[in-house]
Structure 1
Amino acid sequence: MRGRTVIAGVGHTRYGKHPGRDRVALIVEAARNAIADAGIEKDMLDGVFVKMANSAPSILYGQQVAQALGLRPRMGCALDQGGAANVSLISFAALAIEAGMIEMALICYGDTPRTGSHAVYHRPRGEEAAYGWYSTAAGYAMIHQAYRNRYGAPDTHFGAIAVQARANALGNPHAHLRVPLDMDTYLASPFVVEPLRRDDCCLLSDGGAAVIVCSARRAKELALPRPVPILGFGQGQESWEVHLRPDLLDTMAAESARTAYRMAGVGPEDIGVAQIYDCFTVTVLQTLEDYGLAPRGQAGALALAEGIGPEGALPLNTSGGLLAESGTPGLQLVIEGVRQMRGDARLQVKAPKAGIVSNQGGSMHTHATLILGQPA
């Protein structure tokens, strides 16, 4: 599968608040932009893969999206893996293309949790809600505390992730949050669920995003500009709820990365830029270590000492990530990864050999990894 499929086009809406906008309309806008970026005709798309909307899940959502796009795809679906769904859908599309079932797929997402319903994020968590376990943040607070306890990580290790995300988003015209953050401000920010501070938590954002996947052969036939090869992908899923896990820091992200590295024929040492799912700062530290990009317990120290900015040792979330660009679940990270490999990102990293993207859903329940290469 290495390099046999490519991401041929990317597109998105502005991120932030879209009062009164329908989530499907946001997908249509993002898809139109991706089609224009790829330089194709809409009717070339014969696969439509949609990440389920968090704010309002519905039956046959994928078909609603295809109808709004004016398409009758040979293959289509809506998938729920939480925030891991978008990279997973890219891998499923690549497999379908390789199997000859479709030729060109649209992978897309749109939602309005900022101005619509965000109940899914603060719902009670089972019987444990009687003891105060409400919201997505509660599970991550347990993971954050476990990480601090095991490694003795100071708050500045988590703060380094938040501060750099804000710095990367400052000049991004599409970003939801373009407000600078320094370490003192981070340390003074209020607790949401202790030990999680406000700036440890990602945004809730309205917006839409889309990418187009086809075979490398098809991209060459159509002379598409700068298709980015998909070198590898992988998945891993944790079956247990947070409070049932014997080890809160043992995740399936490591297995997801191993699968992707093996397919891509590269290792952590080959990664020149990373777009890591940053729903919370602890997620970034844990994923960097699971991906072999930092020693255990040392991701925060690496961020502080060697830097995670565009000119640092490991450039990270160069458009601002979920903490600053958009709280939408993960496709914006893929788009930034594509732009980095094409060489047209706003904060461009110098000639990365390969880029890695992580997606993650639930409370570190689902993991999906994507490795991108340089265009031919």
Structure 2
Amino acid sequence: MSDRRSPGLRDRAAVAGIGWTPYSKNSGVSTLELALRAISAALTDCGLTAADVDGLVTHGVGDSTPAATVGAALGVSDPHLLLDVWGGGSMSAATIGTAAMAVASGQAETVVCWRALNARSEFRMGGTGRAAPTLVEFQYQVPYGLFTPPQQYALVGRAYLEAAGAGAEDLGRVAITQRVHAALNPRAMMREPLDMETYLGSRWIAEPLRLFDCCLETDAAIAVVVTSAERARDLPQPPVLVAAAGTGGGHSLFSDDRPDWSVSAAADLAPRLYAKAGIGPDGIDVAELYDAFTPLVLMQLEDYGLAPRHGAPDLVASGATALGGKIPTNTHGGHLSEGYLHGLNHVAEAVIQLRGHAGERQVPGAATALCTGQPGYVSGVTSALILRSDR
């Protein structure tokens, strides 16, 4: 049983509102418009207005409208917190953690966090057909043909499969399980059934990654409203408390002293995160794990202590990560089947589960959720959250 009176961030801030735009292949609007629509929906969800907002935090990789522009469009003339966090999905959880720290310290009272991007119709980080990115490591990747994330994560996936003695079917079970969850999610882009034959018959993207091992490039926005726990209790929706937040290091493709690429930086972050929340892995009821590619789910199940080392394939095969299992994982379908919003849709799903509002995909009695960002590969950084209901 955790001590709610513990000092620090624990349970002092809460997610009060969530909002999103439809997921699509072509939004037809700017990332500014997407951000404003999602933020408006999140504020409506918790009964607040733009006049209540005094903090704005977003994350991106040069592919979205800056926080200052969004704040001006909202009419926030004197933001107490204004932050653009550089990083794709690696820093998704960090945006919520930063907002929670600002609220807990009194720097801001109501902070909106969001991710808005037209990743399918406009700009894709790491994609070809545009100028080379201004990253030091790019000069070391190009000679070897490492241009895109699937190529980069194929190396990571191969390292894990060899270390764990796993194979294609183990990756397939991750994609299939999440597709079952997506079928119960009316927002999901991919809801049709997926079986092992279809999975194995899909085309290679970059071995060992097939088509269904890869996330869905998506146009959409997600927004989250963070305020104090006390204030959230007076708002319409059940508060979801920020029990812990953390950031960590990671792996770089061009210079890395980590001896085992099958273990992500999440393994270093996890003990700190659990200590801050006052619980252990066995205290997590639902896991929303960053799943740009299927191997990352297996790796994080192990690195966050939800499965023994090299035991994640057997855990998934047993049905433990499915709805009704011991640790339901990516209950909305994840990036593989719902849509790729760089981690904030995982936070929104955790909030829905902890509110008890997930309908057919509801995890009975869900009181705690682990939400993770990309576990540190390529970017060299990672972040994660533990959220808990206020019941």
Report the TM-score range of the alignment, normalised by the length of the smaller protein: over 0.9
In the alignment, what sits opposite 2:26?
A: 18
Of the structure 1 ranges 244-253 and 257-266, higher mean CA displacement relative to structure 2 is found in 244-253
1:66 correspondence with 2:77: no
CA distance in 2 between partners of 1:198 and 1:242 (Å) = 26
Pick aligned residue for 2:212 from 160, 185, 199: 199
1:168-179 equivalences under 5 Å are: 168-179=181-192
Give the Cα–Cα distance (whole angstroms) in 1 for the partners of residues 64 and 43 of structure 2. 26
Contact 1:14 1:175 in 2 (8 A): no
In 2: Cα distance, 1:116 partner to 1:206 partner? 9
Corresponding residue to 1:95 among 93, 101, 113: 101
The aligned runs of 1:138-157 (5 Å cut-off) are 138-157=151-170
Instruction: Number of aligned residue pairs: give it.
Output: 372
Partner of 1:29: 37
Per-residue CA deviations over 1:150-205 (Å, capped at 9, x if unaligned) read: 12102111111100111111232221222221111111111111111111111100
Q: Which residue of 1 aligns with 2:4?
A: none
* 1:114 and 2:120 are equivalent in the alignment: yes
Distance 2:71 2:256 in 1: 39
Partner residue of 1:238 out of 250, 260, 273: 250
Distance 2:160 2:350 in 1: 28
1:160–1:304 CA contact under 8 A, matched in 2: yes
CA deviation profile, 1:77-134 (whole Å, cap 9, x unmatched): 1111220222101111111112111111000110001011225344684233222222
Give 1:19 shift.
Answer: 4.1
Distance, in Å, in 2 between the alignment partners of 1:178 and 1:242 is 38
Secondary structure at the aligned position of 2:272 is classed as helix
Cα distance in 1, alignment partners of residues 356 and 64 from structure 2 = 36
2:24–2:220: 8 Å Cα contact kept in structure 1? yes
The SS at the match of 2:121 is coil
Aligned to 1:372: 387
Q: What is the CA deviation profile of residues 51-98 of structure 1, one whole-angstrom value per residue up to 9, with x for unaligned ones?
A: 1255x367xx11011112221221111111220222101111111112
Residues 205 and 328 in structure 1, CA contact (< 8 A), matched pair in contact too: yes
Question: What displacement does 1:242 show?
Answer: 5.7
Q: State the distance in 1 between where 2:379 and 2:287 align.
A: 18
TM-score norm. by structure 1 comes to: 0.94
Contact 2:61-2:88 at 8 Å conserved across structures: no
What percentage of residue pairs aligned between the two structures are identical?
35
Match of 1:84, SS?
A: helix
User: Which of 350, 353, 362 is the equivalent residue of 2:367?
Assistant: 353
Match of 2:342 in 1: 329
* 1:217–1:66 CA distance, 2 compared to 1 (3 A): same
Q: CA deviation at 1:223?
A: 4.1
Report what 2:311 is aligned to.
298
Give me the whole-angstrom Cα distance separating, in 2, the residues matched to 1:30 and 1:323.
21
Task: Summarize the Cα distance change of 1:307–1:250 in structure 2 as closer, same or farther, 3 Å threshold.
Answer: closer
Match of residue 284 from structure 2 = 271
- Residue 310 of structure 2 aligns with an amino acid whose one-letter code is G
Q: 1:120 to 1:217 in 2, by over 3 A?
A: same
Q: Match of 2:186, as an amino acid?
A: P
Contact 2:188 2:338 in 1 (8 A): yes
| CA distance in 2: counterparts of 1:112 and 1:167, whole angstroms | 26
Q: Report the AA paired with residue 245 of structure 2.
A: F
Provide the C-alpha distance between the structure 1 equivalents of 2:140 and 2:26, rounded to a whole number of angstroms: 35
Which residue identity is paired with 2:76?
L
Distance 1:364 1:162 in 2: 24
Q: By how many angstroms is 1:365 displaced? A: 2.7
- What is the distance in 2 between the residues matched to 1:33 and 1:119? 27
Asked whether 1:86 is paired with 2:92, we answer yes
Question: How far did 1:313 drift?
Answer: 1.8
Change beyond 3 A, Cα 1:262–1:272: same
Alignment match, 1:288: 301
Instruction: Confirm or deny: 8 A CA contact 1:238 1:364 kept in the other structure.
Output: yes
Distance in 2 (alpha carbons) for counterparts of 1:133 and 1:139: 6
Aligned 8 A contact 1:139 1:242 in 2: no
Which amino acid in structure 1 is aligned with residue 348 of structure 2? Answer: I
State the TM-score, normalized to the length of structure 2.
0.90
Q: What is the alpha-carbon root mean square deviation over aligned residues?
A: 1.8
Relative to structure 1, is the Cα distance of residues 368 and 323 closer, same or farther in structure 2, using a 3 angstrom cutoff?
A: same
Mark the CA change 1:38 to 1:53 in structure 2 (over 3 Å): closer, same or farther.
farther
Match of 2:238 among 226, 229, 235: 226
1:231 CA drift (Å): 0.8
Q: Find the counterpart in structure 1 of residue 3 from structure 2.
A: none
